[in-house]
Amino acid sequence: MADTKNPITNVKGEFIRGVTAFRNWIKDEPSAEYQPEANRYHLYVALACPWAHRTLVLLKLKGLDHVISYSTVDTLLEFEKGCGWAFGEKYPDPHHPTFTHLKDVYKLNESDYNGRVTVPVLFDLKTQKIVNNESSEIIRMLNSEFNKLARHPDLDLYPESLRSRIDELNEQVYPKLNNGVYRAGFAKSQEAYNNAYEDVFSMLDILENILSKQRYLIDNKQITEADVRAWTTLLRFDPVYVTHFKCNKKMISKDYPNLFGFVREIYQIDDIKETVNLDEIKKHYFASHLMINPTGIIPRGPEINYDLPHGRDHLQQK
């Protein structure tokens, strides 16, 4: 969900995340403007971005990658030039070979578009318009509206019986952890940083406690949307956020045994590992955010083995 422009802060030095611009929905209804159809939609993602990563995880978990195509943009963001996410020889736009930047896709909706250019983008190849660029809504669509085309239609990551609990946890995890690490990293005052720092670790402590008693964050027997939304941040925590965003009180891999097991378990799910490229993730943060890391030097560590046995199976028996 990263922007093409430098991070925005308020008068208190607090990072302010912008609002996504395109909020249409795909619905499995005869009257819907956007209906679920095979090979009609394309998902633009960045391997580095946790917000885009959650949509890619849903695509894989539901088994929709054979009916919804996806492609990645270049890892680096040129904040100072205002160019944003780029295509190139290694990362071409498969549907618009002459496009050089994701902003060109945005301009298909509005020729004079000059707003935020973010990933993920769910794009309609039929109308050549962006349907939605809000990750929390895209994952809901992928979960429920494409079941007749999915390889795993019975997997429901937002079941009706658990929705209130999922929503309640999401409302805590988003500001304190998902966005909390960004609030710490992009803070421009000590107070703003301190507040974000405390939020991050108070939330990690809460999640560690939950996972000490049950296998997943909401339900002991099944993974839900809440797990996916937390996981893409937790995965990046030790390699990036500890140093780059100064969230260095503790490390997931050393100080949170249950969180670390949880991260490894989801990483080891079929097809999920292939969505993870830690080199690309580190390259994006450390070489793009020159306002934080002026030299652009990318750290080589830490060395973390996500293939170690996760040891979470026994919790399901409780």
Binding residues: 85, 116-119, 134-135
Inter-residue contact 263 to 212 (CB < 8 Å): no
252-274 burial, b at 16+ Cβ within 10 Å, e below that, comes to: bbeebebbbbbbbbbbeeeebee
182 is catalytic: yes
| Rounded-to-integer distance, Cα 80 and Cα 162, Å | 44
* DSSP reduced 3-state for 181: helix
Q: Please classify residue 243 by burial: count the beta carbons closer than 10 Å to its beta carbon, then call 0-12 exposed, 13-18 middle and 19+ buried.
A: middle
Residue from 49, 241, 247, 285 carrying the catalytic annotation: 49
Contacts of 289 (CB under 8 A, 6+ apart): 79, 185, 244
Pairing between β-strand 121-124 and β-strand 8-9 as defined by DSSP bridges: unpaired
44 to 66, 98, 134, 159, 221: CA distances (angstroms): 15, 16, 12, 26, 32
Q: φ and ψ at 121, to 5 degrees?
A: -130, 125
Q: Which of 106, 182, 256, 285 is catalytic?
A: 182
Query: Is 49 a known active-site residue?
Result: yes
Q: Which residues are annotated as a binding site for glutathione?
A: 85, 116-119, 134-135
Residues annotated catalytic, as ranges = 49, 182
